[in-house]
């Protein structure tokens, strides 16, 4: 069994997990028609807490395909912030595990 450590979580690996297929960006608002399944008005923004204040990328309700709002590089940069949060939380966990004085 492969144990994943927090050190392995990077903006890059988080981005890869999203499986965003396309490279086209919709900067201010998502497309009216999904480019993957042709459904109308099924795409909404996905917010990642601690990554970006607002939608970080778009996702289709119908086919679950994700679309870029920012460039890949910028999306990774925002995702990287959540990794730093994971590390902070791990640190807190460690503090809580200590015996009280």
For Zn ion, the binding residues (CB under 5 A) are 34, 36-37, 60, 62-63
In terms of CB distance, is 13 or 29 closer to Zn ion?
A: 29
Radius of gyration of the chain (CA): 17
> In the complex, what is the shortest distance from the CB of residue 61 to Zn ion, in angstroms, rounded to a whole number?
8
> In the complex, what is the shortest distance from the CB of residue 37 to Zn ion, in angstroms, rounded to a whole number?
3
The neighbouring-strand residues paired with 83 are: none
In terms of CB distance, is 22 or 91 closer to Zn ion?
A: 22
Q: Are the C-beta atoms of residues 30 and 67 closer than 8 Å to each other?
A: yes
> In the complex, what is the shortest distance from the CB of residue 1 to Zn ion, in angstroms, rounded to a whole number?
35
In terms of CB distance, is 37 or 87 closer to Zn ion?
A: 37
């Amino acid at each position: 069994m492969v144990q994943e450590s927090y050190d392995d979580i990077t903006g890059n690996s988080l981005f890869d997990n999203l499986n965003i297929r396309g490279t086209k960006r919709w900067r201010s608002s998502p497309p009216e028609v999904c480019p993957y399944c042709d459904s109308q008005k099924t795409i909404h923004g996905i917010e990642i807490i601690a990554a970006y204040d607002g939608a970080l990328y778009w996702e289709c309700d119908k086919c679950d395909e994700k679309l870029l709002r920012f460039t890949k590089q910028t999306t990774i940069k925002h995702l990287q912030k959540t990794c730093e949060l994971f590390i902070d939380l791990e640190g807190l966990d460690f503090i809580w595990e200590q015996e009280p004085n």
